[in-house]
């Protein structure tokens, strides 16, 4: 493909280049310069920040978080009948908008128990 065909094909397609989750560059054919577009609507961001800022300073709190937050998705299932798999339900935990923050909180709790308290955390795995 020569250069003239490549520019003609790319001129017809509207392109979006994502820089971060909040800022994107809109590269359209109508404007020669890239204009930044900022997405400021994030109603769940304060809760995410609150979950990320929870500090673990107590072994009892760390144990509670490790017991409450499961190590793997409890919704994942494989339905079998007579040793034949009928269907599988995929892990649905990643649909939770706070999934990464909750998993990070569990990991911080496990690290606190293992590093600071010297406990064996294998019972939480």
- Give the model confidence (pLDDT) of 20-62 as tens digits: 444 444 555 555 566 666 767 889 999 999 999 999 999 999 9
pLDDT band at 16 (very low <50, low <70, confident <90, very high): very low
Q: Which residues of 59-73 are buried (b: 16+ CB within 10 A; e: fewer)?
A: eeebbebbeeeeeee
Nearest-angstrom CA–CA distance, 86 and 88:
7
pTM of the predicted structure, to 2 decimals: 0.63
Over residues 98-112, mean pLDDT: 96
């Amino acid at each position: 493909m020569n250069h003239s065909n490549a520019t003609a094909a790319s001129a017809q397609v509207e392109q979006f280049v994502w820089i971060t989750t909040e800022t994107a560059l809109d590269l359209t054919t109508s404007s020669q310069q890239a204009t930044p577009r900022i997405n400021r609507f994030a109603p769940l961001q304060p809760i995410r920040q609150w979950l990320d800022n929870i500090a673990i300073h107590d072994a009892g709190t760390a144990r509670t978080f490790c017991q409450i937050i499961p190590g793997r998705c409890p919704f994942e299932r494989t339905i079998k009948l007579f040793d034949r798999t009928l269907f599988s339900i995929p892990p649905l935990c990643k649909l939770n908008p706070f999934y990464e923050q909750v998993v990070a909180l569990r990991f911080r709790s496990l690290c606190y128990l293992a590093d600071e308290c010297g406990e064996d955390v294998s019972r939480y795995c």
